[in-house]
Amino acid sequence: MNNSARASSILTASGLLLIGCVTNTPQFGDKNDESAAAYNLQLGVDYFRQGNLSLAKEKLDRSMQQNPKSAQVYVASGMLYDRLGETSKADQYLSKAVSLEPKDGDIVNSYAVFLCRKGDYKKGEELALKAAGNALYKTPEAAYFNAGNCAIDAKRPADAEKYFRSALAVRPNFTPAMLELAQLEFKAGNYLPARGFLERFQQFAKPTSASLWLLVQVEYALGNAGLSADYARRLKQDFPTSAETRFLIEFENKSRS
């Protein structure tokens, strides 16, 4: 899988995904009122999702003033600053969120993803594994998956394989890990195991541009030109504008020359 496709598959159950709708009516007279803070937090998250970063920042800043002990608002603010390209501030806020809720697996995992993406692989991987080992964390497979991606970026495929297999041990139908394991096996020249993971992937998920492109390459490597061509046609038909289709066309052009 190419880097952009893999990056988009990184899993993080962040505070932005956990914040539910606020149903209680806020009282805005008291800046420390937790209800008002929760209301502004939700507004900030909604604006963030809509791409209105200016209003998102305004609401999140207000929420933080009203409840400076809310780890969720620090997570949301950290992700906002990350989007704005202010990495140092993003790190500061996400770190603060973890210090406020060190046993919250979602928050720890979110910070781990951020650290790995900015190149702090050692600390990011450690935090992802810490989240995965939290008995109260509901989705440890996501943390193992993120640790695996961190290990790949750190050029340690053996550790990545171990983490992806741990994700599958927790949740056997966890398709993102299957796809990564298929990619690792393909790169290692283990084409039959790669096919096995892809077949398993197709049992639980619809084909993606990444899975079809990998199937094209695996079957071609195994000498199954007809089957490879079938997957190539599906990739072009179902995902005509994808990066993988561009890779396929480049591959076909090189093969003809």
183-208 pLDDT, tens per residue?
A: 999 999 999 999 999 999 999 999 99
Res 18 pLDDT > 80: no
Q: Which of 72, 45, 66 is nearest to 56 (CA)?
A: 45
Res 2 pLDDT > 90: no
Res 180 pLDDT > 90: yes
Q: What is the pTM of this model?
A: 0.85
Res 25 pLDDT > 70: no
Res 99 pLDDT > 80: yes
Q: Residue 34: its pLDDT value, please?
A: 83
Listed range (5-9, 95-99, 236-240, 251-255) with the worst mean pLDDT:
5-9
Q: Residue 101: its pLDDT value, please?
A: 96
Q: Residue 32: its pLDDT value, please?
A: 53
Res 124 pLDDT > 70: yes
Res 13 pLDDT > 90: no
Domains located in the chain, CATH noted: 1-171 (1.25.40.10), 175-257 (1.25.40.10)
Res 250 pLDDT > 90: yes
